[in-house]
């Protein structure tokens, strides 16, 4: 069963919420974060990306950066930019992007559930990124950005949450990207208890986005547990900040790929190698794949459709038959030499929200030589693989809309 608990959120003063709210730390680089926070002294990026307040030549993983994050959080609290609720509550967070609406419950999930497998993951983490989040969370003494979880839709939970959203929102605003955000507090203690009970009947939660934050929360708990001779298991550091959405509201976009070079091959030799495993068809325009096992390739100013040959993969293997696996196993690794996409610096991943136009842009800039567009992984694939304790290839999913950071923070004491 899934254990969740309410918490006393640290959140923005109402009139500052829109200015505080920021995109998550991992969808931008430092230069982009600097631009996003320019002229906004209360942007949450001062906490989630504190290197923006230090000299540009500083290493983003130096101790000074983590200390600066702690200082900025303390400053936001001291200045009243952020305030802490005096009652433990759940919160409801709704986002709308075009025709997409997703409504999730903001809770604290348990590290014990993560470590036992009640919370299932589908990707491996990178050691360097995980270590960065451990140091960041530990320095802040807070989960400053939520993990994005999903569960198989439960009608009773949906009805309970709809009752909350019928009331007045704490915040309601629309960001520059056209996404609307609203937050409600679950103030009724009986409803808090009901939601806790109903989630206790949910057998499994699934990590949608936030594997590194989940792993880091687990490691921070173990660090503090080992340092606390009076550890009871009820301390706040045993829990971490999560927004849980029903699976029927999840939107996964493709996670496209661009590669810097052709691995020492000329175009003719490269195309011949691609043709060994794919049917290659020249196109007159860009391709955003419309079905599984269809890929777009942009090379030399031209688009091609790639369809894998039947013998190139095993359809009955749930991991090998994923489109990201087919591309990796038949082209990226054997032809382009990208054998470990988690660590190879020659490959870059482009979220589907940026469209195929972004693929054309980066290839036309000559920073990268070839790009691939993919069909998105489905939420059913994700949950099925996680239920089998199987691991997807890296960068298999891109969820939209992204949760805004800064609207709720969980302190670890």
CATH number at residue 301: 3.30.1760
318 is a domain residue: yes
Tell how strand 239-246 and strand 147-151 pair up. Answer: parallel
Domain extent at residue 319: 255-375
Same domain, 283 and 361: yes
Q: Quick check: 46 and 53 in contact, CB under 8 A?
A: yes
110 is a domain residue: yes
Q: What is the count of structural domains for the chain?
A: 2
Same domain, 193 and 311: no
Same domain, 101 and 206: yes
235 is a domain residue: yes
Same domain, 108 and 235: yes
Q: Quick check: 261 and 348 in contact, CB under 8 A?
A: no
Neighbours of 46 (CB within 10 A): 25
CA atoms within 13 A on the CB side of 83: 10
**What local confidence, expressed as pLDDT, does residue 145 receive?**
97
Structure tokens given for 299: 């090379």
**What local confidence, expressed as pLDDT, does residue 394 receive?**
85
pTM for the predicted model, two decimal places: 0.91
- Mean pLDDT for back-to-back runs of 10 residues, the chain (413 residues): 95 98 93 96 98 93 97 98 97 96 98 97 89 98 97 97 97 95 96 98 95 97 97 97 97 96 97 98 97 98 97 93 97 97 92 93 97 96 93 90 96 95
Same domain, 95 and 237: yes
Same domain, 42 and 156: yes
C-alpha to C-alpha distance for 335 and 267, rounded to whole angstroms: 12
Structure tokens given for 296: 């777009």
Residue with token string 């919370």: 119
Strand partners, 142: 411
């Amino acid at each position: 069963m899934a254990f969740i608990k309410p918490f006393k959120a640290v959140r923005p003063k109402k009139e500052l919420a829109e200015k505080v709210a920021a995109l998550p730390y991992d969808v931008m680089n430092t230069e982009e974060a600097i631009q996003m926070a320019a002229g906004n002294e209360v942007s949450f990026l001062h906490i989630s990306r504190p290197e923006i307040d230090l000299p540009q030549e500083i290493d983003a993983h130096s101790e000074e950066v983590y200390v600066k994050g702690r200082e900025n959080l303390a400053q936001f609290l001291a200045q009243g930019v952020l305030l802490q609720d005096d009652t433990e509550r759940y919160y409801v967070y709704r986002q709308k992007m075009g025709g997409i609406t997703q409504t999730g419950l903001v809770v604290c999930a348990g590290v014990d559930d993560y470590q036992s497998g009640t919370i299932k993951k589908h990707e491996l983490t990178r050691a360097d990124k995980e270590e960065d989040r451990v140091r960041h969370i530990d320095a802040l003494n807070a989960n400053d950005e939520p993990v994005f979880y999903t569960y198989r839709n439960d009608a009773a939970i949906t009805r309970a949450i709809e009752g909350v959203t019928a009331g007045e929102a704490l915040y309601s605003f629309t960001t520059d990207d056209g996404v609307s955000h609203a937050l409600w507090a679950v103030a009724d203690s009986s409803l808090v208890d009901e939601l806790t009970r109903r989630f206790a009947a949910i057998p499994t939660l699934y990590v949608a986005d936030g594997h590194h934050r989940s792993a880091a929360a687990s490691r921070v708990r173990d660090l503090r547990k080992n340092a606390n001779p009076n550890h009871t298991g009820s301390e706040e550091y045993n829990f971490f900040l999560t927004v849980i959405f029903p699976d029927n509201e999840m939107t996964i976009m493709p996670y496209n790929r661009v590669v810097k070079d052709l691995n020492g091959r000329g175009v003719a030799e490269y195309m011949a190698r691609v043709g060994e495993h794919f049917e290659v068809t020249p196109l007159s325009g860009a391709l955003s794949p419309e079905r599984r096992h269809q890929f777009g390739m942009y090379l030399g100013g031209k688009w091609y459709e790639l369809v894998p040959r039947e013998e190139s993969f095993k359809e009955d293997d749930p991991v090998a038959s994923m489109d990201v696996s087919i591309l990796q196993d038949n082209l990226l690794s054997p032809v382009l030499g990208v054998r470990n996409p988690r660590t190879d610096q020659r490959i870059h991943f482009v979220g589907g929200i940026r469209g195929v136009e972004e693929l054309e842009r980066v290839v036309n800039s000559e920073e990268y030589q070839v790009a691939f567009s993919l069909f998105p992984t489905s939420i059913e694939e994700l949950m099925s693989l996680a239920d089998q304790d199987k691991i997807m290839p890296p960068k298999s999913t891109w969820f939209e809309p992204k949760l805004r950071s800064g609207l709720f923070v969980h302190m670890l004491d």
